[in-house]
């Protein structure tokens, strides 16, 4: 499993109020979510009407697919009519890179070492199987 993150700032030169900014942000969020099934949120510069700090998250089992989706989204952001892409950073993480990939909310291990490696002690067939 892979997690793709895209963080970016949009400059909104025509926005004179937060209402103007929200119109642009809502349009971007709705379009990206509808077309790419990603989670989109405004995360920074919430009170500044001329800039929107936003982030996108997407999860998929294929890292190559994630890169393609994030590339497509970056291209769309560069061509927005009501805003300009100021800066953009992308990160793709494998599930093993997440600090709590094998722990529950209380810090307890979710799987045994054998389960993490893909073999279960109760699987007599010898076939590899992933975590439950």
Rounded to 10 degrees, the C-alpha dihedral 12/13/16/18 comes to: 10
Residue 39 has pLDDT above 80, yes or no: yes
pLDDT at 116: 63
Rounded to 10 degrees, the C-alpha dihedral 45/3/94/68 comes to: -110
Report whether 40 contacts 32 (CB < 8 A): yes
Report the phi/psi class of residue 37: left, alpha or beta, with left for phi > 0 and alpha for psi in -120 to 50: left
pLDDT at 118: 59
The predicted-structure confidence for 86-113, as pLDDT tens digits, reads as follows: 999 999 988 777 666 667 777 777 777 7
Q: In a 3-state reduction of DSSP, which class is residue 37?
A: coil
DSSP 79: T
pLDDT at 1: 86
Angle, alpha carbons 7-11-15 (nearest 5°) = 130
pLDDT at 79: 94
The CATH H-level (homologous superfamily) assignment of domain 2-96 is: TT1725-like (3.30.70.1120)
pLDDT at 112: 72
Average pLDDT, the chain: 84
Beta bridge partners of 103: 109
pLDDT at 28: 95
Average pLDDT for 27-47: 94
Average pLDDT for 6-30: 94
CA distance 26 to 30: 6
Residue whose entry in the numeric block shows the structure tokens 């076939």? 127
pLDDT at 102: 65
Average pLDDT for 36-58: 95
């Amino acid at each position: 499993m892979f997690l793709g993150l895209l963080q970016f700032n949009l400059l909104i030169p025509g926005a004179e109020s937060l209402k103007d900014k929200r119109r642009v942000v809502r349009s971007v969020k709705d379009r990206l979510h509808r077309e790419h099934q990603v989670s989109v949120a405004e995360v920074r510069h919430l009170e500044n009407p001329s800039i929107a700090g936003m982030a996108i998250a997407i999860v998929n089992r294929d890292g190559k697919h994630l890169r393609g989706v994030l590339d497509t989204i970056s291209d769309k952001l560069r061509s927005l009519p009501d805003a300009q892409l100021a800066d953009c950073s992308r990160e793709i993480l494998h599930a093993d890179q997440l600090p709590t990939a094998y722990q529950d909310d209380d810090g307890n291990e979710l799987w045994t070492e054998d389960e993490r490696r893909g073999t279960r002690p109760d699987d007599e067939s010898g076939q590899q199987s992933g975590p439950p």
